[in-house]
Chain A
Amino acid sequence: MLEYTPKEMNERAALIVNPAKTCQPIGAMYAALGIHKCLPHSHGSQGCCSYHRMHLTRHFRDPIVASTSSFTEGACVFGGKSNLKKGLETVFEIYEPDIVAVSTTCLSETIGDDLSDIIASTNIPEGKKVFYANTPSYVGSHVTGFANMTKAMVTHITKKEKTKSNEKLAIIPGFMEPSDMSEIKRILKVLGVGNIMFPDTSDVVNTPQTGKYTMYPEGGVTIAELEDLCNCKATIAMGKFASEAGAYELEKKCDVEARVIKLPIGIEATDTFIVNTLSITGKSVPKELENERGQLVDLMVDIHNHYHGKKVAIFGDPDTVIAMTEFVISLGMIPKFVLTGTPGNAFESEVTEMLKANEIKDYKVKAASDLMTLHQWIKNDPVDMIIGNTYGKYIARAENIPLVRIGFPILDRVGHSYFPTVGYRGAMRIIEKISTAFLEKYDRECAEEDFELVM
């Protein structure tokens, strides 16, 4: 498929070829699914909602349900007010959610619908809630949409006035898998730290088989918990791009201290997460976690020769890529190319700083870029491994480079919904993936005399 990718690089300013991002509303939809009994509502054309549901369905292999305002030409001329009002009535009448999270699209944003005004003038059934996030598709990426919807939860649902401290931590997990959210909650449980995680898609998009279809599964942060965020001790926000907006909003609105850390992928980032938690709560590290960390280090020692010195290209969402870059450096790998489709100077400066501090040379780092660029870089200067989402498979095949699937979306493999990549255990799983990918390629391709039983 990529036979047309030329090695010579011409500057492209207008055209994106093979994107490394998608648009805001899908991130908003994913975040909204992390509220218990919430129906995400897309204020735009039917196609947007259909595409977002399809894409999330392919990634999670679970039913993803959302409603849409179903814009017509009329709505575009006269505004989408009546569509949204009618849509909300229908939604409460038929699907009976507790809360509806409306996200906008490029269409409704450009028309200029005033969501605050429309929602205020709609009859919402007693005890039910509707809130919204502005998520224009032409700004940022799906990660921005996730951040905006998370922030909107604080803006519109959290109570302003503190009552009594709930002794809990607010946790914004960022754009991660439901399995990762469960793992963070497990670690906090081991630490004995109460928390409110928002959004929380665990047990929403990775539900067990019961023989019954449930429109609103058991998982998700509750409305009461979102209201109670004002009484938290502090917020730990994981991943600047997806989570800092929500954390700063909570700090501004309710004076809850915000601490923004990397996604806890890899040993250092997990340490940072735990150290921060301890410093806020005054707890100490239990034996169980020390053991997990020890096992991770033990594994790193056992097979460090499998990957030390290998060159790697990492692409995907900025928070994931930043944390992965830090992790592979700690494994002794060389991140040659680090790229995201999401725009943002913070990405380039943070990664560059990390690479410089570790004396890595001849690297390329780029935000707001695409996979044709990555492919051209690799053609000019080959790497040993690609770490990224499913879309990396084209380059992996064209150049015969192993691909380790980390990120969103993963459309061709399973496991991500159930097995975490965060925390010490997640780090062990990533190491297993990396090591296996190298060894399997070696076993398949090495000369007969080099083929070994023990590796």
Chain B
Amino acid sequence: MESNQPSVIEERRRHILIKDKNNQQVIECDHQSVSGAVSQRACVYCGARVVLNPITDAVHIVHGPIGCSSYTWDIRGSLSSGSEMFRNSFSTDLSETDIIFGGEKKLAAAIDEIIAAKSPKTVFVYSTCVVGIIGDDLQAVCSQAEKKHHIRVIPVQSSGFAGSKKDGYKAACDAIINLMDDAKYKIEKKDNKAFNYLGDFNLAGEVWIVNNYFKEIGLRLLNAISGDATISNLIKAQDASFNIVQCAGSSIYLANMMKEKFGILYKQVSFFGLKDTAESLRLAAKLSGDGEVMQKAEELIQRKQEEMEPILKEYKNKCQGKKIAIYVGGDFKAISLIKQFNELGMQTVVVGTQTGRKEEYEVLREIANEGTVILDDANPSELEKFMKEKKADLLVGGVKERPLAYKMAMAFIDHNHERKHPLIGFEGAINFAKEVDLTINSPVWALARRYSYDE
């Protein structure tokens, strides 16, 4: 490995693994990035913001200088069936004097002002780096505001430096649990078909697609968390008989807390790809323990598969044989994607995540093909190097990876906030195949690779 990795920092080597059945090297992950590295990672605040922000009817105030609020204004792509309040950007826009004298007064005034202007049901207050340093007591300000206005004002402890993006997910989950504690009743008998669906943010309306399946088979979705979630619904989340978790990286912590606090069991699911969608529906049906639901699930799966498989086959004919690189946030999604590309006859040759967990990297290693490069917290040069070496045709990634792929004349798919079509469920699997086809078979790549007049 030494000789062919000139551009890899010593400390980074252990974060890179080449799948080899004779090599049992364990990948290093879950670390802070090396100082000076061009990391693709974000911060605690970012993690909290992406998980909480899709709650549609809340006001999300960012307590800090303006940037943190500006950069996260309506970038998540979460859709709402009701209120659009969450798509606005609210900030205390701290200035120098606030940093010197403290920002608590300004925060209290900001909460008063927003309640006067928009009468929200709930306000979330996010702390940012500098707030953590000057020591504003968010909890105290929020408690006082609750007493004054008789609505929930919930602090989110998300100072950027205090951990990684994952700690931000936790901070968001803590805030959601805080809301659920509001239910001041005890339900007598739970409906065994009622459940919550965690870790789906309704990008491009994805929650709505899977909810159609749930409705058809007779399951009752109480809450998707946090896609298209509302405050009044979230309070009732504990009525669920079970939880299913899509994005484990962001929401497994919440699932565990709900298990501890309310005794709600959970299972991990993945609605990406035909096979995983079918398996996940079966699992959800089984969790209800209801024979009729299970029967209906089978019917739905069969019908959808018959409907989708011929369409998928057409795309498979157009796409198979191409090589794929994947660089996404968490590894659960990466695992799903590898399977989905397999369904299309495409081979994954590079796979990396920003914040993968050890156990999941093991699963990744298991399902990856021999020779696949597995990366933790990769930087652009590493991605470039391995994509070139492995001759990848398409990269799946987020905002910052897109232009890198394009500059290398590679096709690209955004499987993050900028996805424009729902990629979930049976319909999503078709959309996904369509997007793969659209990008990988575009005439532009031939042009982009022939960049001089001589060729």
Contact = CB atoms under 8 A, between A and B. Distances in A.
Report the contact-size class of chain B (Cβ under 8 Å from the partner): 35 or more
A2 B41 CA distance: 32
Given A14-B113, A19-B66, A73 B162 contact: yes
A13 B44 CA distance: 28
Interface stretch (B215-223, B292-300, B396-404): B396-404
A20 to B, nearest CB: 9
Interface in B27-68: 32-46, 61, 64-68
Contacts of A49: 39
Contact of B66 (A21, A83, A110): A21
A3 B84 contact: yes
Contacts of A2: 84, 88
Contacts of A83: 35
B161 A51 contact: no
Nearest to B74: A1
B161 A72 contact: yes
B66 A63 contact: no
A198 interface: no
A14 B92 contact: yes
A63 B130 contact: no
Contact of B32 (A18, A47, A72, A210): A72
Nearest to A86: B35
A73 B161 contact: yes
A12 B95 CA distance: 15
Contact of A17 (B38, B88, B132, B448): B88
Contact of B67 (A48, A63, A75, A89): A48
B308 interface: no
A136 interface: yes
A67 B70 contact: no
A6 B284 CA distance: 44
B90 A47 contact: no
Contact of B95 (A22, A62, A139): A139
Contacts of B343: none
B41 A46 contact: yes
A21 B91 CA distance: 12
Contacts of B70: 19, 21-23
Contacts of B92: 14-16
A48 B403 contact: no
B110 A15 contact: yes
Given A16-B91, A139-B95, A211-B408, A51 B36 contact: no
A438 interface: no
Nearest to A92: B36
A215 to B, nearest CB: 7
Contacts of A89: 36
Interface residues of A, number: 81
B34 A107 contact: no
Interface stretch (B114-122, B236-244, B264-272, B432-440): B114-122
B87 interface: yes
Nearest to A376: B117
Nearest to A112: B133
Contact of A90 (B37, B99, B134): B37
B113 A67 contact: no
Given A1-B88, A70-B33, A212 B117 contact: no
A75 B161 contact: yes
A276 interface: no
Given A48-B43, A70-B35, A19 B89 contact: yes
Nearest to A205: B403
Nearest to A69: B35
A141 interface: yes
A105 B129 contact: yes
Contacts of A341: 66
B453 interface: no
Contact of A70 (B32, B98, B106, B165): B32
A91 B34 CA distance: 10
A143 to B, nearest CB: 12
Given A45-B43, A213-B407, A23 B67 contact: yes
B69 interface: yes
Interface stretch (A53-61, A164-172, A422-430): A53-61
A209 interface: yes
A384 to B, nearest CB: 25
B109 A48 contact: no
A69 B403 contact: no
B330 interface: no
B7 interface: yes
A14 B106 contact: yes
Nearest to A76: B161
Contacts of B409: 209, 211
Contact of B161 (A1, A71, A213): A71
A68 interface: yes
A397 to B, nearest CB: 11
A10 B113 contact: yes
Interface of A: 1-4, 6, 10, 12-19, 21-23, 25-26, 41, 44-55, 57-58, 61-73, 75-76, 83-84, 86-91, 93-95, 105-107, 110-111, 136-139, 141, 207, 209-215, 341, 372, 391
Q: Which 5 A-B pairs have the closest CB atoms?
A: A47-B43, A23-B67, A90-B36, A87-B36, A14-B109
16 contacts: A6-B117, A14-B109, A17-B90, A19-B70, A22-B66, A22-B70, A54-B400, A67-B37, A90-B36, A91-B36, A105-B129, A106-B129, A136-B65, A138-B99, A138-B130, A213-B407
Given A50-B41, A136-B65, A213-B407, 11 more contacts: A1-B87, A17-B114, A18-B73, A54-B399, A57-B399, A62-B403, A65-B380, A70-B37, A106-B64, A106-B99, A110-B130
